[in-house]
Structure 1
Amino acid sequence: MLSYFTIISNLAVALSLTLALGWPSTKLGRYAASPASQTAVALYIVVVALVYNTVLRGLLLLAGWSWLADTLLHVVVPVLYVGYWLWFTPRRTLRWAQLGAWLVFPAAYLGYSLLRGPVAQWYPYPFLNVSTLGYAQVLRNSGVVLACFLLVGSGLIALNRALPLRYFNKQL
């Protein structure tokens, strides 16, 4: 399960909230509550929602508990975390240069998936499946996902910088 970006991103949401809210005075708690960390997690979980709901939804027919888990991971958690991000992230604290650092994790994930795929003979997502699509198509697909990361990340920075200081600005 840890080979899915969805699972890792949802774990990042849980870990960042646990540290920021449960241990706010510790070094890890302060790091998790920092605007850059909160925004990185928001970026990852929003891209999870976008990719799943535009590309992957409907590939599997789910019912019952599987449908509920799927909806929680791909819809509910992303919406709730964006609400948290809007409410608690201090305004005008993000810098454009931070976007590059936020892309390191997705790039590492892509590298891991492409290296592990041929060894395990399994890819976590159909758009990364080199054995059926070939490297050229997978690189094009990855470019589209990269564009999503860049657009969403830029949008989060722009929103953070544009909102009035008092708009949804509650501190923990």
Structure 2
Amino acid sequence: MPRTLLFNKPYGVLSQFTDARSPSPRPTLSAYIDVPGVYPAGRLDRDSEGLLVLTDDGALQARIADPRHKLPKTYLVQVEGAPDDADLAPLRRGVMLNDGPTRPAQIRLIAPPALWDRDPPVRFRKSVPDQWIEITLQEGRNRQVRRMTAHIGFPTLRLVRWRIGDWDLDGSSPGTWHDAPTG
């Protein structure tokens, strides 16, 4: 029977099991997950947090990672500045990045979510406001959310992937994992 794990990846951890960089290897999944045969279905940047799905099912791995399957991925994003709905409108239509146009995103302003503290914390600047937004994409290019928010003038300060398809982080602490519900 295939196995699928839902992992809450902490900030600073690579989305792989080894790091060939030396002399100072960075933290990897192997510090948190000791389950043979599972591999990440997609990636999260080292400076992003949140839901990472690992599985030993190659077909499921491809379905999650391949943008052709249009599996929605939802991110909670803290941006520098105070965008309003008009500022976010280009992301709803899709924007042109250096690697081509993005698909339209579902995006909305949200109240600061009840999340765990990040280590290290996001820098706080009294003179610069910040705002949380929720973005749902059906594609996943390298650093896409960060590039999209920067494109409209609101750089990402913190990025947490909250949901992939029907799976979410509800009740998960950073650095923990559990088997995905079946059925």
**TM-score when normalising by structure 2:** 0.25
User: Which one has a larger percent strand, Structure 1 or Structure 2?
Assistant: 2
User: Which one has a larger percent helix, Structure 1 or Structure 2?
Assistant: 1
**TM-score when normalising by structure 1:** 0.26
